[in-house]
Amino acid sequence: DVYKRQGPKEHNDFLTLQPNMFKRVEILGNTMPGFEGINTISTDQKGFRTNREVDYQSEQHFRIFAIGGSTTEEIYADDTETWTALLEDKLELHIESPVEVINTGVSGIRAKHHLATLLNTEELHPDYYIFLVGVNDWNHQISKMQKNDDDVSISSIQDTLLFKGVKLLKPSPEVDRETVHQNYGEYYSSQNDSLSKSDVRSMSINKIDSEYINAMNQIAIRCSAGNYQCIFVSQPSAYSNKLTDNLKSKLWMTPPNVDFTLDLESLIQISSFYNTWLENLSKVNNIPFCDLSGHMEPSERFFYDDVHYNENGSKRVAEVLFSCFRAELTNKAI
């Protein structure tokens, strides 16, 4: 379950997963292709997904915080098979020293929450931050532009299918390490093939939502001035003219939780506009940018829906980010 942290006013948007969560999940059926076996999903005492015990007060290890939404959290991937865990393994072999890649992702959250996560973790001795962001903010902008921004809107975390998916992982009062929860992806299949809805609309944007701009500008300023480094990452998606028919039938976020759909060309334009804006923000602030979007084929090879990765997709994300990190670390002689 999503856990709201208490803190100073500027931290009020800080959300994590439930601390000390432990679940075993088996993905069955054809709704979410690309998962095998029983996956363990757990969090540490701070509600972060980690692949080892982290002493947050220690400065001993090379520490990276990964900040983002569901494409960072990866709610159905095993602890050892998230892209953050795989990146940790690759970096540790590369620098021949202990590495911690801490996954702070939470499904459905937006840039203002990412800023709060940054503010709440700056005192935990970070060396690097990875920001993989965008999809929830562009859906929030779509919602506002379609005058669908009331309490039951695309932008409401608690009403998203991803949030409902996370709730399936809510821990019992006592940790149950034996039960395997079988998941057929019912929350997703109910909205699959969303591009085939009868109400098809077109939309294009020529400016980014002001809330996103404000939060990301604050993040960029802190990244430039802090005692740590940042890498901004483009948000990959299935929105492409190369989209395969099989993956097209799995789409549901076009946008989610409404009776209409945008056409594919609109989704391509909006997602590309956000990624380009983020790349430009990186350049202006001299922050490294990793073009993950340009390295993810829009097919079931990597995705099980619009933006979320299967096990092979997680491997691909880790490979691309490792390449970006290797170049960055070489430049800094780390």
Would the pLDDT of 73 be above 80? yes
Q: Are 174 and 72 in contact (CB under 8 A)?
A: no
Would the pLDDT of 93 be above 70? yes
Predicted pLDDT at 158: 47
Closest CA to 120 of 21, 211, 4: 4
SS3 309: strand
Cα separation, 331 vs 334, in Å, equals 8
Please name the residue that has the structure tokens 């999903």: 41
pTM of the model: 0.91
Tens digit of each residue's pLDDT (9 = 90 or more) over 265-315: 999 999 999 999 999 999 999 999 999 999 999 999 999 999 999 999 999
Tens digit of each residue's pLDDT (9 = 90 or more) over 201-252: 999 999 999 999 999 999 999 999 989 999 999 999 999 999 999 999 999 9
Say which DSSP state 171 is in: P
Contacts of 223 (CB under 8 A, 6+ apart): 129, 229, 230, 285, 287
Reported confidence tier of residue 330, pLDDT bands at 50, 70, 90 = confident
Tell me whether the omega of the peptide bond preceding residue 255 falls within 30 degrees of 0, making it cis: yes
Report the pLDDT averaged over residues 140-160. 61
Cα separation, 107 vs 119, in Å, equals 19
Mean pLDDT of the chain: 90
Tens digit of each residue's pLDDT (9 = 90 or more) over 103-126: 999 999 999 999 999 999 999 999
- Provide, rounded to the nearest whole percent, the portion of the chain with pLDDT above 90: 81
Would the pLDDT of 153 be above 60? no
The dihedral through the CA atoms of 225, 50, 318, 170 has a sign that is negative
Predicted pLDDT at 8: 52
Tens digit of each residue's pLDDT (9 = 90 or more) over 12-47: 799 999 999 999 999 999 999 999 999 999 999 999
